[in-house]
Amino acid sequence: QVLQLGSHKSTPVSFIHVPRTAGTTLGFTVQALGVPITGEDRCYKYSHRENAINAVVFRDPTEHVLSLFGQCFANPHGAQSMSPLWGFPRGEKGDTPEAGWRNGLTKWLAHFGENWERERGYFNCFNPINMQARYLTCGGKDEIHDKEVHLGAERWGTPQKPGRAVWFQSAHYLGVNDAVEPDLDKVIRRLDSMQVVGVTEALKATTCLTEYYSRGTIHPSCECGSDERKFPWRQTRNANYAPFHFSALSEKARGNLMNVTRVDRVLHRYAVKRFIRDSLRAEEKMGKQFLCASVRRELDQVLDQHEDGELEAALDVPWGKYKPSAKSVGATKEAAMGSLPFEKVDLKHVPKTYTPDEQNTLMRKMTSAKAKEVLPAAALVEVPMTHFEYAR
C-alpha cells in the first residue's frame, strides 16, 4: 500500500472549511492519505486557488444549524467570546441542561428566523442564516472595506471589556458586504468552479474523491467491501451537547430553522447531486467503486425529499414573509443520515437543576478564557486581522 500510494504525484488541495461540517476530520484524514492540503475557515474569495484542487464540504442544513447552536451552547474551548455575558440564550435559570438546550435553541432560532436585521446582533457567536452558502459569496470587491471593524467582527472579550475586534474573512458573521440570502446564481457559479464538492453525509467517500482528484487514485480501503479498519481516519470532535433532534422541536422552532436555511437547502441538494455525479465518473475512470450502495441509498433519500425546483421556488417569496411548507416543518425525523451522529447523553447522570454554586462555576469557566489561550501568538499581532493569517 505504501509503495502504491507513494507512486502517484499529488496536486495540492485548497479546502474551504465551513464550520461544523466535519471539515477538520476530512483535512487530517486527507493528509494521512498523502495529499497536501491547506484548510482555512475563510470565504471563497480568499481561499480559491489557481493550480490547486479546490474542495468544499456541505452538510444537511438542519443538522448544521443544530450543530452551530450546540458549539456556542457548550463552548468547548471556554472561549471568552462565547461568554453568557453576550446574551447567548442557554435557557432559564434552574433549567436542566436538556431543558436549557431546547429553550435556548427556541429563542436563538426565533432571534434569527423572525425578520432578523443586522442591528439585532448575533450574541458574538455564529450567525446561522444561510452560513454555508455565504461561504461561497462573503466579502465584497473592496478588501479594505472587508477589513473594517463592523457588526460582522467578533470581540474576544466581554461586553464590559470587549477587547480586540477580530476580522475573520469568513461567514461566521454577516459581514458589511454580505447579503442575508446570497444570490443563488452566484452561489451555483462559485460551486461549479470547485473541483471537489462533498457532503458530510458521505464523508469517507468525499475524502476518497478528494484523494482521487489530487492523486488520480484512491487508498485500497476506500473501495467498497474493503476492511474499514485499515482506512486512516483522523477523526476530531468538539464537545457538542445536543440532547434533541429536529423532530423534537416545536413547530414554530422548526419553521424558524427552515427560514434561516432557505438558500442552504438548495445548495445542499445541489451538492448531493454534484457529489453523486462526480463519484460515478471517478469510479468509471478507475474501475473501482467507493460510493457504496448503503451511502448511495441514503443520498438518494435526501434527493427524494423535494421535487426539482421546489426549494428554488420558495426563494421567490420575500425572506421576511416566507412560511415553510407543512412538509418541511412536519418532518417526523431528522433529515441527515447521521454519518457523524451526536453523542448520546445519559440523562440519568444529569443533575435536575444547576445549583447556584454550579451556575457560578459555569459562568467563571465560560468567561475566564483569554484570546491568547485560544489563538496562536502570531495571530494576535495586528488588528484588524483574520485568525488564520498566521498560517499563510
CA distance 276 to 101: 35
Contact 214, 13 (CB under 8 A): yes
Q: Mean pLDDT of residues grouped by 10 in the chain (392 residues)?
A: 54 94 93 90 87 96 94 74 75 82 93 86 88 89 55 58 62 80 94 96 97 96 95 77 84 94 96 97 97 97 93 82 67 34 37 56 48 40 30 24
Q: Which residues contact 128 (CB under 8 A, 6 or more apart)?
A: 64, 65, 68, 69, 112, 260, 261
- Tell me how far the alpha carbon of residue 174 is from its chain's centroid: 15
User: What is the 3-class SS of 63-85, one letter each residue?
Assistant: HHHHHHHHHHHHCCCCCHHHCHH
pLDDT score at 322? 72
The end-to-end CA distance of the chain, in Å, is 32
Nearest Cα neighbor of 80 from 124, 126, 41 is 124
Burial readout 314-332 (b: 16 or more C-beta within 10 A, e: otherwise): bbeeebeebebeeebbebe
Query: Rounded to whole angstroms, how far apart are CA atoms 342 and 59?
Result: 14
Q: What is the 3-state secondary structure (H, E, C) of 298-334?
A: HHHHHHHCCCCCHHHHHCCCCHHHCCCCHHHHCCCCC
pLDDT reported for residue 372? 42
The three grid cell numbers given for residue 93, joined into one nine-digit string: 435559570
Helix 203-215 crosses helix 23-32 at what angle (to 10 degrees)? 40
**Distance between CA atoms of residues 122 and 118, nearest Å:** 8
pLDDT value of residue 145:
58
Q: Is the pTM of this model over 0.95?
A: no
CA atoms within a 13 Å half-sphere pointing along the CA-CB vector of 252: 11
Identify the sign of the CA torsion 59, 18, 269, 276: negative
Q: How far is CA 352 from the centre of its chain?
A: 31
d(CA 40, CA 144): 20
